[in-house]
Amino acid sequence: MHNAPSVKYPLGRFAWGRWRIALSGGAAAGLTGYLFHQGQLSSLRALFPLCLSVLLLIIWFRSMRHSLQPAWLVWDGENWQWWQDEAGQEAHHFCTLSVQADFQQTLLLQLSLGGEGAAKTSKWVWLYKGFAPAKWHGLRCAVYSRLN
C-alpha cells in the first residue's frame, strides 16, 4: 500500500510513565524499610529519606504532567506533520519517520525534522492503541506504507 489514507492520531501520555513513578516510589520506600530493618536507620532518620523521596516523586510527577501538551501526529497522504493544536495552526513537517519498536499495541517512532542546510532535530514518541483505538489501523497503515 503506497498511498495510505490520511490520519490524525493524538499523542497522549504513555501509560508506562505511571508504572515508572510507582516503581521508583516503591523502590525508595523498600530501601528505606530495608535499612530501617537492618538497624542502619533509626525511626526518625528513616522518616527523612522516605518523605524526601515521596516529595521528589510528587514534584517530578507534577512537572511531567504540566509539561506534556497535547499534540497530534498527522499523515496527509504524502508527508508526516506534528501538530501542536488540533486545528493544525501550528504544524511542523517531518522529513523522515522511522519505526524503532513495534509491539502491535504500541509503537516507538523517531521523527526527524530538518533537511539540507537546516539543523536536524528528532522527536521520539510512544504511540499506544488506547489513545485512539478507531484510528490505530489507519496509523499503522500510514507508518508502514512509505517508510522514508
Give the model confidence (pLDDT) of 100-138 as tens digits. Answer: 999 999 898 888 876 555 667 777 888 889 889 999 999
Q: Residue 1 — pLDDT band, cuts 50, 70, 90?
A: very low
* Contacting residues for 120 by C-beta, under 8 A, at least 6 apart: 112, 113, 114
Q: Is the pLDDT of residue 9 over 80?
A: yes
What does the pLDDT read at residue 15?
47
Domain ranges of the chain: 16-67, 69-145
Residue 53 binned pLDDT confidence (cut-offs 50, 70, 90): confident
* pLDDT (0 to 100) of residue 2: 57
| pTM greater than 0.95 (yes/no) | no
**70-103 pLDDT tens trace:** 788 888 888 888 887 777 777 777 768 889 999 9
Give the chain's mean pLDDT: 76
DSSP-assigned states of every residue in 48-73: HHHHHHHHHHHHHHHHHHHH---EEE
**What confidence score (pLDDT) does residue 135 get?**
94
